[in-house]
Amino acid sequence: MGSGKLQQMQDRILEKRMEKIKKLYPDMAIAQVTPSNLPLLPRKMGGEGKRFTIRGKITYMEKVEDRLFCTISDGSGLFAVEMENMMLNLEIAQGQLYSIVCRVKISPDGSMYGEARGLTLLDSADPRLQKLQALPTKKPPEKEAGRACRNYWEKTLPVTRARLKMSYRYVLLIPLLYLLFEPHLFKRLSLGAFGPMLGLILFMLVFLTGRQKIVEYSS
């Protein structure tokens, strides 16, 4: 298969994926992500906690302990996004274009920021994305329309590239494997048929409590 046909196939797959994401999570301009947009706010603040999609350029990145926060710009404003809970091992670089599915979170100082729940790398050579590609990469101002920048309340390290890897509580793997594959052993402990079920619960906990951590970065 020629490289041209392969590229066309990849483009079609990406377009279908983007169409599916748009149906589930509507596109939002960063300017629309405000406290007055109640459906986007967390439930504890009277909102519906709806997820949405932002398309933009990573203009700034910062490392907070072993977590990554990115500032994304779409030309209408800036928005800080915490790269966590995506169940992916990936590498992110400043200047890349992304479509990010996220939900609003509120920082300790009351500012709004996003938690990424999924992301798609966009083709920077796509002529339809020229305006996004032209956006500058620089450190954002301390406050941008009340939106969160992590350096308001925690010490950060600016980075230009970071590799993220999922980290799990592997300490739970040993008991869950015993519970799943050796239920007779636990009958002696009066667990009975509940042993394998408890193993499945532990199995879910291992993956649900997984977090993305920075394992390599450059600044």
Res 188 pLDDT > 60:
no
The confidence score (pLDDT) of residue 17 equals 75
Integer angstrom CA distances of residue 119 from 18, 51, 71, 102, 216: 10, 13, 14, 9, 20
As a whole number, the mean pLDDT across the chain is 83
Taking the model in full, what pTM does it have? 0.77
The confidence score (pLDDT) of residue 190 equals 53
| 92 C-beta neighbours (distance < 10 Å), count | 22
The confidence score (pLDDT) of residue 2 equals 62
Integer angstrom CA distances of residue 120 from 55, 116, 180: 9, 11, 36
Rounded Cα gap, residues 60 and 82, in angstroms? 12
Rounded Cα gap, residues 167 and 27, in angstroms? 30
- For residues 77 and 145, the answer to whether their CB atoms sit within 8 Å is yes
For 200, the token pair is 């499945």
Question: Using 50, 70 and 90 to split pLDDT, how confident is the model at 183?
Answer: low
Res 37 pLDDT > 50:
yes
The confidence score (pLDDT) of residue 93 equals 95
pLDDT per residue over 123-182, tens digit each? 888 898 999 999 999 888 877 767 877 766 788 899 999 999 888 777 777 776 666 666
